Amino acid sequence: MTVLMGYCDRWSARPGDTVRFMVSCKGAARYDARIVRLKQPSAGPRATPFAPEPVAAPCNGSYSARWQPIPIGSFVAVPTHPRISALASFTVSVRVWPTTPGRGRQALLGTWREDEATGWALVLDESGGPALRIGAGPEAVAEVATGVPLRARRWYRLSAGFDAATGRLFVRQEPLEAGGFDLDRPAERSITTSVRPGGGPAPLLMAAAQAGPTDGPAAWGGIRTTWHFNGRLDRPCLAAAALDPAAVVAIGADTWPAGLAELVVGAWDYSIGIATETVHDRGPHRLHGTTVNLPTRAVPGADWDGSVVDWTRDPSHYGAIHFHDDDLVDACWDTDFTFTVPAELRSGVYAAHLSAGGVEFWIPFFVCPPRGVGRSPVAFLASTATYTAYLNNRGRFASLATELYQGRLLTLDRTDMLLLEHPEMGLSTYDRHSDGSGVAYSSRHRPVINFRPTGRHWNFNLDLFIVDWLEHLGGDYDVITEEQLHEEGLDLLAPYRVVITGSHPEYDSREMLDALEAYLRRGGRLMYMGGNGFYWRIAHHPTRPGVIEVRRAEGGVRAWDAEPGESYHSFTGEYGGLWRRNGRAPQRLAGVGFISQGFDACSYYRRTAAAADARVAWMFEGITAEILGDFGILQGGAAGLEIDAVDPKLGTPPHALVVARSENHSNTYELVAEEVLIPHGSTDATINRDIRADMTFFETPGGGAVWSTGSIAYAGSLSWNGFDNDICRLTTNVLRRFRDPTPFLWPPH
């Protein structure tokens, strides 16, 4: 069976930029790669025929296949240092909050190298209890364990050490919090051994152990890792002596008494530099380390008492890092081929199409115009932040609720199966880690199965229906991306008279919303072509483009919720959660905001009395029907999946016109959680009139305007009947008027 996958280093490319493609393939000797322009999704016989346009490119051709594994799992690495390598006697201590004790051996701190059985490591053994292992080769290994398993999600102080003079090997555990009436008790055990730690100089790893060297992809330092830890570590320390329990407590303090300070090899304080990937050593040797594969920071540590919920106010309460065996920020593959964007190549949606052994894989990217240049008055804003949040959404396959929501059996294709067969491709922010904690970070630097023109119609795939419509109208549009919007702000939007969103621009940073609001204030026109947009606040990684953070705090429709004290982003220190909870509800920008979702069937819009207002007469030219969109590729209608409604309390402008309103949704459409204060049995669409999609229009100062569909499913109706339908006609009327430079007049009071 051939397995083929890949990714590229950038999604947003301008003329002259080079896109690097990384590919992994097994089961075939070679694979083919072709650059194509995507003009529509693959959507079956009722849609525009799927016809990617070939692009002449030097990189098109056949390539030798090779398999590149993915180095998954987070840890901290401290480079090799003589002070560590020279240790004879030592003590290591750390505060530990395990989440999967008993699920195999898990390393906490050490220099252990498994392929040679050398060095030392404090670990949780197979029983879930702490153990210290030392070795000088396969025939010279000693280990001591307390034999008392730790309890999940409880704080402990663990310490272990070796006295070279006596051969004493010891390990201790001390609970730092009570857990109900079944209290943990301290435990200690020691043995005497003739084994001494051996091996050459080695890095010090936290939350993983070295498996050995590798000539393939490596997350750090050309090594493979094993024994990945699930849970939190806080205040790891290393001393050059075998210490008693009182000295262990002292070495973990902020200052050290005379006589102990000179024994300190390293004292790592995770509360320093939380927004970075650096781990700071407060000890005299400054043995700073690096986090690898982005473990979660800005999480409460052992000193957190609930009095501080914002880590920026008192980082000392946030001295922990949460490690996961399935963290992944970069697959670290080598480049297989490159594509440099020619100056004459038109802006659009492109992809590298890979094929081998009867299977295919798509690697999309966006070609954008030169910075500061608009080659068209119209820009399609690709929802790259939302795409990133959903990448490799495993919950769709793993959740028992999926079939219940959709009212039909789940369907999978060969590309979908890749994620189940290769879980090392990583997770989406809709998933939970293997220890049950929510996934707060997502990265595009890895192969993904749900960012392609084929398969399920959602996000990128569904947005290609909007591209298809623009192509039908003649193709006069530029493509820009949300990651560019975050970086460049209003400057990105300034060249355009009209900005068109995707079907589901759900995730936005402050910089993105600021730019969109500024664009409207200066007379821009926004066509919001979807539903559940501008909903979650995100943060972008300060140094890694394509990496985002989501903290699902205080309400909202979500797959997991933030743990207590974890509502502030680690990247920026900003409060997370819904934009509504941050005082910027979607209604302020788009006039409408998320009200409900349902996936069994989509419905239609009915024109309202406001549709006859002279302010919007142009919108309905050539349209006589009262019912709009009772057809579509997305569950049979233009109004559905996730829908938005107006709400003056949340910021819908008082002069906004709801020109059409959906109706007849099923009872699977219920009010979103943030709208329900007390469950009262009247939250589904069959008995609650608040549940509807509001097609909305309003003018903005400076001659601009906003038009919102309020429905994710809307895009799936554009091409129905070969574009000969009222949804296409209505949307085209809006675009035609929005392109017209004639200012929209501010309506009279």
How would you write 154-215 as a 3-class SS string? Answer: CCEEEEEEEECCCCEEEEEEEECCCCCCCCCCCEEEEEECCCCCCCCCCCEEECCEEEEECC
The mean per-residue pLDDT over the stretch 628-632 comes to 98
pLDDT in tens, 369-405: 999 999 999 999 999 999 999 999 988 777 767 777 7
Residue at token pair 């050459």: 200
Strands 498-500 and 378-382: parallel
Confidence of residue 409 (pLDDT cuts 50, 70, 90): confident
User: Residue 80 carries which side chain, given as an amino acid letter?
Assistant: T
Structure tokens belonging to residue 447: 């192969």
**Whole-number Å distance between alpha carbons of 275 and 572:** 7
**Whole-number Å distance between alpha carbons of 507 and 387:** 9
CB 613 within 8 A of CB 711: no
Structure tokens belonging to residue 210: 């070295």
**Whole-number Å distance between alpha carbons of 567 and 231:** 18
**Whole-number Å distance between alpha carbons of 628 and 726:** 6
Confidence of residue 182 (pLDDT cuts 50, 70, 90): low
Say what the pLDDT of residue 568 is.
98
Instruction: Look at residue 681 and tell me whether its pLDDT is greater than 70.
Output: no
Instruction: Look at residue 660 and tell me whether its pLDDT is greater than 70.
Output: yes
pLDDT in tens, 6-49: 999 999 999 999 999 999 999 999 999 999 999 999 999 999 99
Instruction: Look at residue 178 and tell me whether its pLDDT is greater than 70.
Output: no
**Whole-number Å distance between alpha carbons of 564 and 430:** 19
Instruction: Look at residue 679 and tell me whether its pLDDT is greater than 80.
Output: no
Structure tokens belonging to residue 480: 């820009």
Residue at token pair 């000295």: 247
The mean per-residue pLDDT over the stretch 252-256 comes to 90
Say what the pLDDT of residue 685 is.
76
- Cα dihedral value 597, 603, 606, 610, nearest 10: 20
**Weakest-pLDDT range from 129-133, 251-255, 507-511, 614-618:** 251-255
Instruction: Look at residue 574 and tell me whether its pLDDT is greater than 80.
Output: yes
Half-sphere exposure of 453 (CA within 13 A, CB side): 30
Burial class (CB in 10 A: 0-12, 13-18, 19+), 125: buried
**Whole-number Å distance between alpha carbons of 116 and 140:** 11
The CATH number of 3-70+331-363 is: 2.60.40
What residues form DSSP beta bridges with 496?
A: none
Query: Would you give the DSSP letter of residue 613?
Result: S
Half-sphere exposure of 335 (CA within 13 A, CB side): 11
**CATH architecture, domain defined by 75-323:** Sandwich (2.60)
CB 453 within 8 A of CB 51: no
Say what the pLDDT of residue 259 is.
87
Nearest to 35 by CA among 58, 13, 17: 58
CB atoms within 10 A of CB 721: 10
Nearest to 384 by CA among 464, 502, 466, 490: 502
CB 140 within 8 A of CB 150: no
Structure tokens belonging to residue 600: 């069994």
What are the strands, taking DSSP E only, across 14-65? 18-26, 30-38, 53-54, 61-64
CB 449 within 8 A of CB 416: yes
Confidence of residue 678 (pLDDT cuts 50, 70, 90): confident
| Reported pTM | 0.96
The mean per-residue pLDDT over the stretch 418-437 comes to 95
Instruction: Look at residue 184 and tell me whether its pLDDT is greater than 90.
Output: no
Mapped onto helix, strand or coil, the DSSP state of residue 560 is coil
Residue at token pair 């947005």: 463
Instruction: Look at residue 295 and tell me whether its pLDDT is greater than 70.
Output: yes
Confidence of residue 258 (pLDDT cuts 50, 70, 90): confident
Structure tokens belonging to residue 438: 């929510």
Say what the pLDDT of residue 408 is.
72
CB 23 within 8 A of CB 426: no
Q: Where are the domains of the chain?
A: 3-70+331-363, 75-323, 377-739
pLDDT in tens, 325-340: 999 999 999 999 999 9
The mean per-residue pLDDT over the stretch 436-454 comes to 97
Instruction: Look at residue 220 and tell me whether its pLDDT is greater than 60.
Output: yes
| DSSP states of 633-658 | TTTTSSEEEEEEEE-GGGT--TT-EE
Average pLDDT of every residue of the chain: 95
Nearest to 501 by CA among 549, 534, 456, 457: 534
Confidence of residue 180 (pLDDT cuts 50, 70, 90): low
Phi, psi of 391 (to 5 degrees): -55, 130
Confidence of residue 179 (pLDDT cuts 50, 70, 90): low
Helices 726-739, 460-472: crossing angle, 10 deg rounding: 70
Say what the pLDDT of residue 412 is.
82
**Whole-number Å distance between alpha carbons of 413 and 359:** 11
**Whole-number Å distance between alpha carbons of 212 and 227:** 12
